[in-house]
Amino acid sequence: MADLTTPPLLRVVIVDDDPLVRTALTMMLDGAPGLAVVAALADGDELPGAVDRHRVDVVLMDIRMPRVNGILATRRLRARRDPPEVIMLTTFDTDDHVVRALRAGASGFLLKDTPPDRIVDAIRKVAAGEPILSPAVTRRLMERVTTGADAYERARSALASLSPRERDVALAVAQGRTNAEIAASLGMSVATVKAHLTHILTKLDLSNRTQVAMLAHDAGLI
C-alpha cells in the first residue's frame, strides 16, 4: 500500500550548455529526496522533445546558450498547454536578461553559485506555485527596468480591469506573499486566494505570479 504521507516525485529537466554544470546539477538533484532528473540537455532547442517524452514539473535552465537561449526557450515553453515551471540560472552581470526571462514566463531565477540546499528548496517551492525571487536581487532588477509612460499606462489599465478583491490579491502576490499569508491578511481561505489568482491570470493574460509582480511594478505599485 502506498505511503500517503510521501510527497509526489518532482521531475526536473536541466538545460545548460556546460557539461560540467549539467553533471554537477544532475548528481546533486538526483540525490535529493523527492526529486528526479529526467533529462539533462545542452541547448534550449532540445527542450520541446524532452517535455513531450516526460512528465516534467520544473525546468532548471541557463540563459545563455548557443542555438536557442533560455529566454526564447521559456517563451516557447510557456505557450504550450500545461507547461512546467521554469527557473533560470544566471549571474549578477545578466540583470537585463533576467528581467526579460521573467517577462517571458519564468517563475524565478537562481544564481549559479546558489548553495545546493537552496536550489533544491527553490525547485520544490516553484513546483508548489511559489515564485523564487530574492528580495535584494529583485529590487536591483526592478530598478534597472525602464518602463516608460506607455508601459506605466498599460499596466495601470490592465490592473483596472480587476475587481477590488482581485487587485488586493495581485498586490499581495507582487509583494512576494504566499497563498497562506495572503489568505490570513485578507481574511479569506487559501482556496479563495487560488481562485482569485486564477481569475487574475486569465483576465490579464499572464502565465504566473512573477508576471503579476512585474505588472504591479510597471504600474508603480511596488
Domain boundaries, the chain: 10-142, 148-218
Look at residue 40 in the predicted model and tell me its pLDDT: 96
Q: Does the reported pTM lie above 0.85? A: no
Q: Give residue-wise pLDDT tens across range 57-87.
A: 999 999 888 899 998 999 899 888 889 999 9
Question: CA-CA distance, 109 to 131, in Å (whole number)?
Answer: 9
Q: Domain 148-218 carries which CATH code?
A: 1.10.10.10
Q: Which of 36, 26, 211, 30 is nearest to 107 (CA)?
A: 211
The tens digit of pLDDT for each residue in 104-116 reads 888 888 888 888 8
Annotation: CATH topology of 10-142? Rossmann fold (3.40.50)
Render pLDDT for 144-201 as a digit per residue (tens, 0 to 9).
554 455 677 788 888 889 999 999 999 888 887 888 889 999 999 999 999 999 899 8
d(CA 9, CA 197): 25
